[in-house]
Structure 1
Amino acid sequence: MNIEMPRKKLDLPSAIAEGDIRVLLMVLIHMTGDERWLEPPYKPRRDVRLIPDPEAGLPREVQDEIRAAVVKLFANGEPKPVISDPGDELMLKMMRATLGENVTPEYAPLMREEMGFIPRDISWTRPPADDKLAQQHVLIVGAGVCAIALGVALGRLGIPYTIVEKNAELGGTWYVNRYPGCGVDTPNHSYSFSFGARNPWTRYFAQRQELLDYLKKVALEYDIRKRLRLNTELTSARWDESKRRWISTLKTADSEETFESTTLVSAIGQLNDPSPAHFKGDENFKGQTLHSALWSDDIELDGKHVAVIGTGATAMQLVPSIADRVASLTVYQRTAQWARPVAGYSDPISDGAQWLLAHLPFYVKWYRFNMFWRYGDGLLPFLRKDPNWPHPERAVNKGNDRHREELTDFILSELKDRPDLIEKCVPTYPPYGKRILLDNNWFKTLTKPNVELVTDSIDHFTSDGIVASDGKSRPADIIVISTGFKVTEMAARLNITGRDGKDLRQAWANDNPTAYLGLTVPDFPNFFVMLGPNSGPAHGGSVIFQSECQSRYISACLVEMIERDIAAIDVRRDAHDQYIEKVDAEHEQLIWSHPGMTTYYRNSQGRVFSAMPWRFVDYWAMTHDPDFNQYRQTKA
């Protein structure tokens, strides 16, 4: 790769001047092999902020020395790196140095893989003949992040697959959701695939269109589209024991067909089907009512009276984005939400930083590592219940209580001129007991003169607005229902029938979906659920990381089946049940099972069915290499 500068007048020192010191240090290690850069006075100070200080807490003269060393190294082009793969021992030293933390050893092999120093992909022990591969076929339902990750993995192996998508374009949630302010709440460089398709993100937290464009770009690069069938819906699928195949019915606007596949994969995730909310008198409302996930680009907001029902992640993005456009904005809140302030949330990525991410060897890898770590497992210890903690009503442990104080201070500072809002906006449950939200000027928006936060319950709709339990009628031309999704259904809504006529909807009855590793279900051979039960990242992280862990697991299962002439596998009931017992036991120790709190992570019986209780490094290890002893196997 040649060192080329941006089109704007920006020389190499100027670009390096905009770099993150902790990342530049890792570049020096790779390029020179000189480990003195890991020691004082160069060692960065610990910085736990979500977007850390690029100066890494080092004195100016030390920063200058580091930057000068990088400039000198690349002044005459790009030298060959001394270290391409650090190996586990050096990798651990490098991670500890860049973070200023005592990273534990199990993260070294994970991050070597995540950063591309060693391959993540499964490979053939002995590549099968083309005619044998041609007899295999994987049907993937849904064309979002999970389907793209699995499609890339299968494509590399040469295993035939078809993706069916009911919508008119790929992208999953980033195609469907298009409300104003829609964007990611994980940094782009963490919310991105570990493989290929580097992307010139314009900001640290991308908006919806940029995310959709990124997924399209990856799909194009890896030939996903030629295996993609849009406007095609799976209406049913049943396992045929005699054929050892899935017999699926696919429907388009003008046709219906039967499709056979050796494997069936649900890649629709958890948050795909809007949960309708009905209110007394809603049939009388003469204005426009819609769920936020069904937003239309032709909605006229300017000068209108708008009501938003719900204060979750969607509302926290939507409300600040439209407040200045509308005549009035009334927000109906059932439960107050904790929100983390993030300095730099809306900041653009500078030209110099863009260039470093795109061109400086190893820079994007270590920059991405820093973001992965900060949104990774670091929060989980603060979500574990301390049985000796004397104030369980407000926090689950001492660290969680410190976070409560910090977040409360933030809310108080944002609302210092509106004491009437403080009681409405400070939650009474422990921080992170619900989905983690990032402040997008939410609290500041609530103080605007045309914005009202209503915490009284909704009594009924009228022809021109909403009447709350306080008896007051508030006008509305447009009502946006932002009350979430039918999370418990997941793949059960796909009408799937397994071995001996077993129905997935019945297997997951009582709002209680379960799956071994969040992936496989007893009596449903060759069926995998991506982002299934108890695999949703809740303490941080990225669904893209989860999708890559799961796509490796699925592709590894298929490779072993093909190489060993196994026609079908389904997880043993005892293996499944033992795993679920471990999940439930772990969740009993974590915040999401805290009493007196509602969250979509829990079902109607109070069981946590959605969130993953494990560290990301643990789930990566669990799903890295399938244990076929946990499966019933049917020989070909």
Structure 2
Amino acid sequence: MASGGAHHILSAVPAEPTTVPNGFNSSASHYELPDFSIDEYRPIKVVCIGAGFSGVAAGIRIPQRVPNVNLTIYDKNPGVGGAWYLNKYPGLACDIPSHCYQYTFEENPSWSAFYAPGPEIRQYLERVADKYKVHKYLKLNHELIGAHWDDGKSHWLLKLKRLSPSSTKENPQYEEIEDTADVLITSLGSLGRWDWPDIEGLKSFKGRVLHSAQWDVTDGHWEEGVKDWGDKKVGVIGVGSSAIQIVPALQPKVKQVVNFVRGRTWLATPFQGEKMAMLLKRDGSSQQNYKFSDEDKKRFSEDKEFYKEFRRELEADLNSVHGATLRGSKQQQGARQAFKENMLKKLAKKPWIADHIVPEFAVACRRLTPGPGYLEALCEDNATFETKQIKRVTPTGIEMEDGRHYDLDVVVCATGFDTSFRYPFPFVGRNGLTLQDKFTPHPRTYMGMCVDGFPNWFQTLGPNSAVGSGSLLVIVERQLDYAIKAVQKMQRERLRTVEVKKEAVDDFDAYLETYFPKTVYSEKCRSWYKMGQEEGRVVGLWPGSCLHAVRAMANPRWEDFNYELADPVKNRFYWLGDGQTYNEKTMTGDRAWYLSPEEVNVPPGKRAVSCRMGCD
């Protein structure tokens, strides 16, 4: 008789008395079978903090993949977007190709430019959130102000601040609420807590003082807010990616722009050039930031194969420059020569600026940006590049150490963010251990996602998560996938807690310490990669390439975690339930699901080998 062929005669067979082999029915192993099926998953409550790219993806993937889940996504802002909601400064744009800055599963063939403007990126996120109905999980205008692990109840107690019902625009009032989470996923990032510069007299300035992350001139597009600035003298402090975008945006719209710079930076050669000309079969190399034509966008939208290949080529190119981050490599030497030549060419009208901005440190030691139009803007007659030390801000402008004074109407502080990952609220794990203490003098994590002593907590874009080259969003997706796999394991195996082992954190820390000295990131340059310091621990970047990170996060090492069971029965196989599946017990649903297209993996007909490592 074939296997399984007894189904039609089972009802005719009389029941036999149950016998138990000697020694099996011991008090140590016997327990009553539970009344749940193996796939009758217990409810689980997941809370995500942040509604940027990570939070929106969580609102899509968690309900898709986790059954019986109660999901809430909190964000302190009134809308989705994260850093792209918070930042609204002039010239805000993506600094990698737009078509590489989108979800892998949600293509946008309508990007307006090679480096998309910030508002367009936020609109993309809003469309994605609408399409996948993420808003039903969102609670906006809710700011996390405390997270405490309750060991007795094995959940996170969260404190949040929100506007009270009696609040008005003229008189905002706040109230505190509490929530709990079986699993907490934070997407707080490193570019969401901005800092004012420590400059004497800043508060005494009688004109307008703005921070790049708090551009409040207008609620609309930044150009509306500066349309009357034609007679304004504007000072921009900084030479990071924000300042490099703000200066060329403001320069043609104001009477004078003064860029106060204390450091040096590399500006990358514009990416597109010959590559764009080849992919689009047209000449785009003369444009600083290629603007896609209606013809381009129509082809992207209608010719799916062409768009797919275009996107893959851009991603492949973006993932081909990791070698430049290694000390002494040929790619590093080539990049240094090409970038220097490009910068000198653009500074031909004011060549002396090159003496103060072209670095001695290696390319990519600090965050690299293409900076379209920045150097050209500095060469205009109404632009001043100031390299001397600022002494103080006065009521009417900025005074330098050598006594010179710039009269200004507006001071813009493009001075960066708090990148220490030590959040300005209590974050408390087991036994009163605080994250602030755990991250002093620098963050120590497990693959950037978990911390020992903090059960059931996962991060996206936490310490050592960003990449020096490649797509950041594929990292976001893979980190979220990792967290979801942990949530699925907790449900499937009925676990109360999942906590990374201290020795696993120690070993990852040792890997970091060994890897980074071989890279340009450990050279002396001030960078948010090193918490704003010139030297020290690299806490911002993954220890390897983008592709390396994607591979590393693909399959969780469950042996690196400790677990506690959720049920009072201390048997590791209690989760097997009553010996059946829910669909069998209820005689509902699909009872041949293993034959569905999603489950069946048909091997290739001719050659069932992987060519990932190369084939003849």
TM-score range, shorter chain: 0.7 to 0.9
Count how many residue pairs are aligned between Structure 1 and Structure 2. Answer: 493
1:613 to 537, 540, 543: 543
Instruction: Tell me what 2:160 maps to.
Output: 250
Shift of 1:587: 0.6
Instruction: Tell me what 1:120 maps to.
Output: none
Instruction: Tell me what 1:269 maps to.
Output: 189
Instruction: Tell me what 2:426 maps to.
Output: 495
Q: 1:197 to 1:616 in 2, by over 3 A?
A: closer
Secondary structure of 2:556 counterpart: coil
Secondary structure of 2:334 counterpart: helix
Q: More helix by proportion, 1 or 2?
A: 1
1:474 to 406, 427, 449: 406
Instruction: Tell me what 1:148 maps to.
Output: 56
Cα distance in 1, alignment partners of residues 231 and 432 from structure 2: 55
Deviations along 1:184-235, one digit per CA (max 9) or x if unpaired, are 0111111000113544212221101111110001111111101000111111
* Amino acid in the other structure paired with 1:365: K
Instruction: Tell me what 1:456 maps to.
Output: 388
Q: 1:282 to 1:257 in 2, by over 3 A?
A: closer
Matched, 1:572 2:501: yes
Instruction: Tell me what 1:31 maps to.
Output: none
Cα distance in 1, alignment partners of residues 217 and 313 from structure 2: 36
Secondary structure of 1:193 counterpart: coil
Task: Give yes or no for contact 1:513–1:609 (8 Å, CA) kept in 2.
Answer: yes
Cα distance in 2, alignment partners of residues 327 and 507 from structure 1: 49
Shift of 1:170: 0.9
* Amino acid in the other structure paired with 2:379: T
* Amino acid in the other structure paired with 1:529: Q
* Amino acid in the other structure paired with 2:435: L
Cα distance in 2, alignment partners of residues 452 and 323 from structure 1: 10
Cα distance in 2, alignment partners of residues 434 and 514 from structure 1: 21
Task: Give yes or no for contact 1:199–1:214 (8 Å, CA) kept in 2.
Answer: no
Instruction: Tell me what 1:593 maps to.
Output: 522
* Amino acid in the other structure paired with 2:433: K
Cα distance in 2, alignment partners of residues 425 and 616 from structure 1: 28
Task: Give yes or no for contact 1:467–1:473 (8 Å, CA) kept in 2.
Answer: yes
Matched, 1:379 2:328: no
Matched, 1:324 2:256: no
Shift of 1:359: 2.3
Instruction: Tell me what 1:555 maps to.
Output: 484
Instruction: Tell me what 1:234 maps to.
Output: 144
Cα distance in 2, alignment partners of residues 248 and 425 from structure 1: 46
Shift of 1:382: 2.0
Shift of 1:264: 0.7
Aligned-residue sequence identity (percent) comes to 26
Structure exhibiting the larger radius of gyration computed from Cα positions: 2
Paired residues for 1:206-355 under 5 Å = 206-254=116-164, 255-298=175-218, 299-300=225-226, 301-342=229-270, 343=285, 344-355=287-298
Task: Give yes or no for contact 2:99–2:108 (8 Å, CA) kept in 1.
Answer: no
Cα distance in 2, alignment partners of residues 422 and 579 from structure 1: 40
* Amino acid in the other structure paired with 2:560: Q
2:87 to 165, 177, 187: 177
Task: Give yes or no for contact 1:310–1:483 (8 Å, CA) kept in 2.
Answer: yes
Instruction: Tell me what 1:515 maps to.
Output: 445
Deviates further, 565-574 or 412-421? 412-421
Task: Give yes or no for contact 2:378–2:385 (8 Å, CA) kept in 1.
Answer: yes
Matched, 1:136 2:44: yes
Deviates further, 407-416 or 265-274? 407-416
Instruction: Tell me what 1:20 maps to.
Output: none
Instruction: Tell me what 2:277 maps to.
Output: none
Instruction: Tell me what 1:56 maps to.
Output: none
Deviations along 1:431-472, one digit per CA (max 9) or x if unpaired, are 111101113111111111110000001011122111112321
Cα distance in 1, alignment partners of residues 433 and 378 from structure 2: 50
Task: Give yes or no for contact 1:171–1:216 (8 Å, CA) kept in 2.
Answer: yes
Secondary structure of 1:324 counterpart: helix
Task: Give yes or no for contact 2:62–2:484 (8 Å, CA) kept in 1.
Answer: yes
TM-score, length basis structure 2: 0.77
1:425 to 357, 362, 372: 357
Cα distance in 1, alignment partners of residues 47 and 128 from structure 2: 20
1:361 to 290, 298, 304: 304
Matched, 1:370 2:301: no
* Amino acid in the other structure paired with 2:123: D
Task: Give yes or no for contact 2:421–2:463 (8 Å, CA) kept in 1.
Answer: no
User: What's the C-alpha RMSD, in Å, of the aligned pairs?
Assistant: 1.7
Shift of 1:149: 1.7
Cα distance in 1, alignment partners of residues 145 and 494 from structure 2: 30
Task: Give yes or no for contact 1:139–1:265 (8 Å, CA) kept in 2.
Answer: yes
Task: Give yes or no for contact 1:197–1:217 (8 Å, CA) kept in 2.
Answer: no
Cα distance in 2, alignment partners of residues 227 and 199 from structure 1: 27
Cα distance in 1, alignment partners of residues 333 and 538 from structure 2: 22
Shift of 1:345: 4.5
Task: Give yes or no for contact 2:452–2:500 (8 Å, CA) kept in 1.
Answer: yes
Q: 1:521 to 1:597 in 2, by over 3 A?
A: same
Deviations along 1:327-356, one digit per CA (max 9) or x if unpaired, are 111100011211013144422212332123
Cα distance in 1, alignment partners of residues 393 and 159 from structure 2: 41
Cα distance in 2, alignment partners of residues 258 and 127 from structure 1: 33
Q: 1:171 to 1:127 in 2, by over 3 A?
A: farther
Secondary structure of 2:411 counterpart: strand
2:348 to 409, 416, 429: 416
* Amino acid in the other structure paired with 1:231: N
Instruction: Tell me what 2:332 maps to.
Output: 400
Q: 1:198 to 1:445 in 2, by over 3 A?
A: closer
* Amino acid in the other structure paired with 2:244: M
Secondary structure of 2:299 counterpart: helix
* Amino acid in the other structure paired with 1:210: E
Instruction: Tell me what 1:581 maps to.
Output: 510
Q: 1:319 to 1:410 in 2, by over 3 A?
A: same
* Amino acid in the other structure paired with 2:187: A
Shift of 1:494: 4.3
Secondary structure of 2:463 counterpart: coil
Secondary structure of 1:479 counterpart: strand
* Amino acid in the other structure paired with 2:290: D
1:529 to 459, 462, 469: 459
TM-score, length basis structure 1: 0.75
* Amino acid in the other structure paired with 1:560: K
Cα distance in 2, alignment partners of residues 167 and 347 from structure 1: 32
Task: Give yes or no for contact 1:411–1:425 (8 Å, CA) kept in 2.
Answer: no
Deviates further, 448-457 or 153-162? 153-162
Cα distance in 2, alignment partners of residues 127 and 471 from structure 1: 77
Cα distance in 2, alignment partners of residues 240 and 493 from structure 1: 20
Cα distance in 1, alignment partners of residues 80 and 288 from structure 2: 27
Q: 1:127 to 1:459 in 2, by over 3 A?
A: farther
Shift of 1:554: 0.7
Secondary structure of 1:569 counterpart: strand
Deviations along 1:337-391, one digit per CA (max 9) or x if unpaired, are 1101314442221233212322223332222111112222x22212212xxxxxx
